[in-house]
C-alpha cells in the first residue's frame, strides 16, 4: 500500500481463515461507504425480482446496456433505474441476505456491524451506496458467497500453525436465492477485470472477478475493490479499501493485483468452468461496448460523476447515459425523487487547478505553440 491510508483483507475462501490483514482496526472496527460495490446487491436483487431479464437488460427497456457491461463499466443510471423499481425495503432485505448490516462473526472483539440505509429513497443508494457502511470483512464474505453458490463463510483469525491446520469452515448462513439470481452478477465481475474498471490493476488471466468502487465518503474519496480468484472455484477473497483525495477503485484494484501476484502459486484455473460462468446469458463478454459511463472520462472510472450525467426525473422525456441512445418516457410518480447528492458525497477539498506548461517545442518557431489554458478539474470528479 505504500503510504496510502487504508486496509487490506485476504481471506481463504474455502475455510474463512484470514491469510493476512493490513490495519486490523480499520478492517474489523471501522465502517466504510461501499460506493459502487453495492451494485452487486442491486444486481442480485434486480434479477431475482424480475427487474432484469434473462439477457441482462432492464425488463421492458427493449435493449440498451446489459447487466454484464453495467457492472464491468460501473454504470450508475442502470442501477438507479433498477433501484427505482426495487425500493428501499427490498434493497435492505437483499443486503442483509448478502451479509451486510450485521457482524460476520470473526473471532476478534469490537466488530463493526455496518449500517443500512433505512428510510432513504434516493436512487443513489442503489448505485453509490449513500447511507450504507460496510467493513472489508463483510465485502469479502459477500463476494465469496456470490461465487461459491450462496454460503456466507465466517472469517477466522488463526494464530498458530496448529490452529490453521485444524481450521474447518463455518457457514453462518445461506443467501437462499436461486443460483441464476446470485450467479447472474458473476459475468460482470469477470468483465470488470477483463475490460472494465479494474482491467489495469489485475491480471484477468488468474481468474480474478470483482467490483470496484469510487465515491465520496465522510468528506474524502474512497476507493474499493472486492474480489475473488479463481472465480470458477474461489481460493481467495481479496478486499482493498483506501481513503484520500487521490483514491479510486482502480487504484484499490491495482493493490489487489499485487496481492494476487504474490498468491499466484496457489491459484489454479479451470478454463471450462470459467467459460461457463462468463456465458451465463449465452453471450460473450463484449469488450467493445463504447456507450458507457467509464468511457466518458477517458476510460477512467468516475463513479461519483456530476448529477447531470446520472439524474433521473419522473414524468419527463430523458436520455439515460450509457443505457440506450433512444430517449424513454418515464411514468409520472410524484412520490419518486430525483437523484440528489447527500452530505456524504460532498468533498471537503477545493478544486484542483493544474496549469498547462508549454513544452520546449512550442518555443521553436517551426512548430505551433500549444494551448496554455489551465485545466480545471471539478471537485466531484
The answer to whether 158 and 164 are in contact (CB under 8 A) is yes
**What does the radius of gyration of the chain's CA atoms come to, in whole angstroms?**
21
Q: What is the CATH number of the domain that holds 28?
A: 3.40.710.10
Residue 312 has which C-alpha cell?
A: 433521473
**Mean pLDDT lowest for which of 51-55, 159-163, 215-219, 367-371?**
367-371
Provide the domain count of the chain.
1
In a domain, 167, yes or no: yes
How open is the CA angle 142-191-141, to the nearest 5 degrees? Answer: 10
On average, the pLDDT of the chain sits at 80
Say if residue 123's pLDDT is above 90.
Answer: yes
To which residue does cell 452478477 refer?
Answer: 185
Percent of the chain, pLDDT > 70? Answer: 71
CB-based contacts of 160, cutoff 8 Å, min separation 6: none
- 194 pLDDT tier (thresholds 50, 70, 90): very high
Q: How many CB atoms lie within 10 A of CB 271?
A: 10
In terms of Cβ atoms closer than 10 Å to its own Cβ (0-12, 13-18, 19+), residue 365 is exposed
Per-residue confidence (pLDDT) for residue 343, from 0 to 100? 53
| Residue ranges in 125-229 assigned as alpha helix (H) | 136-148, 161-166, 179-183, 186-194
In a domain, 324, yes or no: no
In a domain, 248, yes or no: yes
Domain carrying residue 42: 5-296
In a domain, 380, yes or no: no
Region 145-150: mean pLDDT is 92
Per the model's pLDDT, the better-predicted residue between 338 and 307 turns out to be: 338
The dihedral region occupied by 152, where left means phi > 0, alpha psi between -120 and 50, and beta the remainder, is beta
In a domain, 86, yes or no: yes
The answer to whether 140 and 9 are in contact (CB under 8 A) is yes
How open is the CA angle 197-204-301, to the nearest 5 degrees? Answer: 5
3-state secondary structure of 375: strand
In a domain, 303, yes or no: no
Per-residue confidence (pLDDT) for residue 158, from 0 to 100? 84
- Whether the predicted model's global pTM rises above the 0.85 cut: no
In a domain, 15, yes or no: yes
Say if residue 285's pLDDT is above 60.
Answer: no
In a domain, 360, yes or no: no
Say if residue 1's pLDDT is above 60.
Answer: yes
Amino acid at each position: 500500500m505504500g503510504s496510502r491510508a487504508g486496509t487490506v483483507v485476504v481471506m481463504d475462501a474455502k475455510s474463512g481463515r484470514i491469510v493476512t490483514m493490513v490495519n486490523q482496526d480499520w478492517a474489523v472496527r471501522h465502517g466504510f461507504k461501499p460506493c459502487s460495490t453495492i451494485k452487486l446487491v442491486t444486481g442480485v436483487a434486480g434479477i431475482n425480482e424480475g427487474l432484469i431479464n434473462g439477457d441482462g437488460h432492464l425488463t421492458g427497456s427493449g435493449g440498451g446496456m446489459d447487466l454484464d457491461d453495467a457492472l464491468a463499466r460501473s454504470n450508475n443510471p442502470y442501477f438507479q433505474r433498477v433501484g427505482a423499481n426495487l425500493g428501499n425495503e427490498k434493497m435492505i432485505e437483499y443486503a442483509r441476505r448478502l451479509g451486510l448490516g450485521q457482524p460476520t462473526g470473526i473471532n476478534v472483539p469490537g466488530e463493526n456491524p455496518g449500517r443500512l440505509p433505512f428510510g432513504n429513497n434516493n436512487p443513489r443508494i442503489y448505485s453509490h451506496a449513500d447511507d450504507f457502511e460496510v467493513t472489508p470483512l463483510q465485502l469479502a464474505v459477500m463476494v465469496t458467497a456470490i461465487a461459491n453458490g450462496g454460503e456466507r463463510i465466517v472469517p477466522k483469525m488463526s494464530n498458530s500453525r496448529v490452529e490453521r491446520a485444524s481450521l474447518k469452515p463455518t457457514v453462518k448462513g445461506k443467501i437462499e436465492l436461486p443460483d441464476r439470481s446470485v450467479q447472474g452478477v458473476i459475468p460482470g465481475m469477470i468483465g470488470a477485470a477483463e475490460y472494465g474498471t479494474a482491467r489495469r490493476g489485475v491480471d484477468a488471466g488468474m481468474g480474478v472477478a470483482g467490483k470496484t468502487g469510487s465515491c465520496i465518503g465522510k468528506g474524502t474519496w474512497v476507493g474499493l475493490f472486492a474480489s475473488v480468484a479463481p472465480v470458477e472455484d474461489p481460493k481467495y477473497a481479496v478486499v482493498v479499501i483506501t481513503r484520500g483525495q487521490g483514491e479510486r477503485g482502480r487504484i484499490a484494484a491495482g493493490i489487489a493485483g499485487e496481492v494476487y501476484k504474490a498468491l499466484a502459486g496457489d491459484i489454479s484455473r479451470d478454463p471450462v468452468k470459467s467459460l461457463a460462468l462468463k456465458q451465463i446469458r449465452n453471450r460473450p463478454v463484449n469488450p467493445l461496448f463504447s456507450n458507457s459511463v467509464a468511457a466518458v472520462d477517458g476510460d477512467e472510472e468516475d463513479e461519483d460523476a456530476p448529477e447531470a450525467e446520472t439524474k433521473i426525473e419522473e414524468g419527463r422525456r430523458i436520455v439515460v447515459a450509457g443505457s440506450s441512445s433512444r430517449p424513454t418516457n418515464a411514468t409520472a410518480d410524484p412520490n419518486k425523487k430525483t437523484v440528489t447528492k447527500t452530505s456524504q458525497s460532498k468533498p471537503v477539498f477545493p478544486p484542483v487547478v493544474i496549469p498547462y506548461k508549454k513544452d520546449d517545442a512550442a518555443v521553436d518557431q517551426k512548430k505551433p505553440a500549444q494551448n496554455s489554458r489551465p485545466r480545471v478539474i471539478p471537485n466531484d470528479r
